A and B are shown apart, each in its own frame.
Chain A
Amino acid sequence: MSRRIISVLMENEPGALSRVVGLFSQRGYNIETLNVAPTEDESLSRLTLTTMGDDYSIEQITKNLNKLIDVVKLVDLSEGYHIERELMMIKVRAIGNAREEIKRSVDIFRGQIIDVTQTTYTIQLAGDAEKLTAFIGAVGEAVILEVVRTGVSGISRGEKILKL
């Protein structure tokens, strides 16, 4: 079992997303993260999902995704060199000494504080999923008020592209 990042180029049509998501529940595969948005060509959406599976189940997943009429192309990014990023916005309680401490952690993780009140910070952090999880550990769960993560997006390194 390993974690895979599957990136899908699909028709930007109503119902397309539900077909992808439905396929996973119908066939008993799980989705760990999912994000989707139109590309520079508005008729196409790029969907990225992460899932856990062995070679057999990943092969079945990619074959079944390819079979969906709305899916134009897809790639298992984890098969090659790639970059993955996820964006997190995290709201934490920040009072007294903790304010300075949190600020230092944000700097270390190269995040940004994007909203401030007398009692809270809202921090933005981008990176791979592991880094975001590490930051949550670093600030300590006690002070976390809210966490929003976008789920993983990914792209292949170098000349390799996923395009029509």
Chain B
Amino acid sequence: MTVTEDTKVEMLSGGDMLIRALSDEGVDIMFGYPGGAALHIYDAIFRQDKVKHILVRHEQSATHAADAYSRVTGKVGTVLVTSGPGATNAITGIATAFMDSIPMVVISGQVPSDKIGQDAFQETDMIGVSRPIVKHSFMVQNPEDIPEIVKKAYYIAASGRPGPVVIDVPKDLTAPNVTFEYNYPDSVSMRSYNPVQKGHSGQIKKAVKAILAAKQPVIYIGGGAIHGNTPELVTKVIRTLGYPITSTLMGLGAYPSTDKQFIGMLGMHGTYEANTAMHKSDMIFAVGARFDDRVTNALEKFCPNAQIVHIDIDPTSISKTIPADIPIVGPAESVLTEMLPLLEKGKGKIDQEALTSWWVEIDESREKHGLYTQNRFDDKSEMLKPQEVVQAVYQVTKGDAIVTTDVGQHQMFAAQYYMFDKPRKWVTSGGLGTMGFGIPAAMGAQFAFIDETVVCFTGEGSVQMCIQELSTLKQYNLPIKIININNQALGMVKQWQDMNYDGRYSEILYEDSLPDFVKLAEAYGHVGIKVTQRDELKGKLEECFAMKDRVVFMDIYVDPNEHVYPMQIPLQSVGDMFLSKTERTA
């Protein structure tokens, strides 16, 4: 038997195979933190230069950074952590990605195989701990399996409804002194995992009929419209129909926010026009949205007159909270591709008279209480308002920045007042609502697009949850701009305490313990700018964004008593809202 060139196999250690497999999978960047059980893997990283490793300051940040990297690029984010505390610190970020369906692969070191179950140093059952918050997980048992497991992990993470996948690797299986044949598989097939590729054509036809027959329709899109890489298609469908469109927090940017057909975000802090239109609608056409509790308000009062057409790739999202009249299980892309010509062909059937009066009604709502027809906050007040900070940042960045947020009032103001005309520019923790997400997310986004402007809206509460990453930003020269909307309290909690607990401010104040954020930024080698007055806001922001190569921490003091409005009235319909501290819908 003759041995030809291409039958020559490469012999690699487990650790080398792992990093090589990542490189063969197309991974160019990973975020991580070394530790005992991962040391062989880190040594393998040292021996190559294809996969760049970013050293964060806390494993939670590694997961958020990889998550954001995925959100802005559409690729799978990659994380490497050690066992025990390394693994458990990654949990919050994995849960964040899971709730928002973000594809991510998290590789965790594990204690050596013969120590598993012995309560060894830095041992945690990572597979067990992460089980409820991963799409799938693998415990490597034989080093030879590493290439195939990596291939499967990336396939599972990215396909179907995306999500995080954990690979737990016992230390001994990555040892440098034992080598194995390395072959990276070209493709993978799993008998137990076959994500749906196409919607049911009969259902699609039925849906088209219902959509065209509607008199008061609303198109309701969610994160699935972005994950499915369908914004262009979504836009075509929406323009073809001429119907009003609203978006969830996760779907912002899939359709241009400044377009007339866009009626704003819906839900708990959605616009008046979006929420009232939903409530009165006779047909809701949902694409990649999951009717979650921050949208629906009381389920039994949700959109009483509406027929529901629901496209989702995940059958468990359909009829989970709100029964769908016409469910379509399938990827938004293939379903909408099939739908579009049918809609174009049938659009003559749309009752234009009804649609026109529907638009008149919606435009009246916009005029009456809409966020974009006039300022619904006091822009002459003594103190700066958080809303105008977001507006000013929007103007200075010409609406073209990648925006990340933390969680709380500032997040909702950012969602309301920064208008996203393009997809994958808006990076926020929607499902889990993870404080501490903002800075690491901005870090991940800036790595993906080093020349773009990346803004992190945060608050003085959230920012302190992952503030150590100011050091990582310095190390890698990531010139993100931090807009700290400082209201000197945990604002969203305070709002709830104002509204539901008679203003009993339980544990939301810092009693003069807030750091001097300007000095703090400077201590990390960055620029800090404090703003307290309305008339200096624009100028200081311009100064901030002109510093293209520096991290700038804008500490902007705003009115501590401002609330986010509209706000849905608990236990009522989607259209019942508080509109200000003194007004509410009838």
Contact = CB atoms under 8 A, between A and B. Distances in A.
Interface stretch (B132-140, B170-178, B366-374): B132-140
A59 interface: yes
A63 B315 contact: yes
A72 B137 contact: no
Interface residues of B, number: 19
B320 A60 contact: yes
Contacts of A85: none
Interface stretch (A14-22, A122-130, A138-146): A14-22
Contacts of A60: 316, 320
A72 B131 contact: no
A28 to B, nearest CB: 12
Nearest to A15: B127
Nearest to B191: A72
A66 B318 CA distance: 14
Nearest to B190: A69
A22 to B, nearest CB: 5
Given A14-B139, A64-B316, A69 B193 contact: yes
Interface in A1-56: 10-11, 14-15, 18-19, 22, 26, 56
B388 interface: no
A14 B127 CA distance: 10
B500 interface: no
A26 B132 contact: yes
B348 interface: no
Interface string B61-90: 000000000000000000000000000000
Contacts of B193: 69
B131 A67 contact: no
Nearest to B314: A67
Band of interface residues on A: 20 to 34
Contacts of A19: 131
Interface in B312-326: 314-316, 319-320
B515 interface: no
Given A15-B127, A63-B315, A64-B316, A164 B191 contact: yes
B7 interface: no
A131 B141 CA distance: 44
A111 B127 CA distance: 43
Contacts of A11: 192
A10 B156 CA distance: 17
B316 A69 contact: no
B192 A10 contact: yes
A90 interface: no
Contacts of A14: 139, 141
Contact of B136 (A59, A63, A69): A69
Contacts of B191: 72, 164
Given A14-B139, A15-B139, A66-B315, A72 B192 contact: yes
A94 interface: no
Interface of A: 10-11, 14-15, 18-19, 22, 26, 56, 59-60, 63-64, 66-67, 69-72, 164
